[in-house]
Amino acid sequence: MHWTKEAIKALDFKFRLNLINSITGIKPANLIGTISESGTTNLAIFSSVVHLGSDPALIGFIVRPTGEIPRHTYQNIIANGLYTINHIHESFIERAHYTSAKFASEESEFDMCKLTEEYLAGWKAPFVKESKLKIAMEFMESIPLKRNNTIMIIGQVAHIFIDDIAVNDKGRIDLAALNDVGLSGLNRYYRLEEIAEHPYARVNELPDF
């Protein structure tokens, strides 16, 4: 198959949505937890979480246009500057997926999707108790992306909570041991399995391919 830019634009809306959301391959599946000024918790699934740097430890993610539809995650982060990132595992894929439904602002996805709020290290924003890898985030900045009116949220890692079995003596995380899942498009989930490990790539150490 071959689609040009013009052909892509002319595609059926749902077909184009599925196609473009899938062409980047497997994306991380995370739940972002926030709390409103009135104390209502919010939980939303995101597949756009990305590493931005390790010193300082920065993580970004993309929020879709706010427009007329309130984006509770965005509103809560801007209001109080704190949020959490929680990995999704096979044991609660379905519950995590349905946090994407458009619940009212006074309804908590934790309650509606039967996930458990957890508060650690005095952090105001809620973690997902069912998650074995949780990250407390401090909001740093938001960058509007003019091309499609989305917003990149950049935060700094404040705390990391992770199951002991998943970290080796070099600090590498075994995502398969956590039963982490990846996401393709908007609704197709995949198991993660480590299939290879290679050393840091140096020109003078190239293998004989």
Average per-residue pLDDT in the chain?
95
**Of 97, 79, 108, 81, which Cα lies nearest the Cα of 30?**
97
Which H or E element spans position 44? strand 41-46
Tokens representing 182 are 């990846």
Residue 82 has φ and ψ, to the nearest 5°, of -130, 145
Instruction: Specify the pLDDT at position 70.
Output: 57
- CATH of span 23-193: 2.30.110.10
Q: Tell me the pTM.
A: 0.94
Q: What are residue 42's DSSP bridge partners?
A: 34
Q: Where are the domains of the chain?
A: 23-193
pLDDT digits (tens, 9 = 90+) for 127-161: 999 999 999 999 999 999 999 889 999 999 999 99
Tokens representing 42 are 């919010």
Q: What are residue 142's DSSP bridge partners?
A: 153
Query: Does residue 26 sit in helix, strand or coil?
Result: coil
46: exposed, middle or buried (Cβ count in 10 Å: 0-12, 13-18, 19+)? buried
More confident: 149 or 58 = 58
Instruction: Specify the pLDDT at position 64.
Output: 84
pLDDT digits (tens, 9 = 90+) for 164-204: 999 999 999 999 999 999 999 999 999 999 999 999 999 99
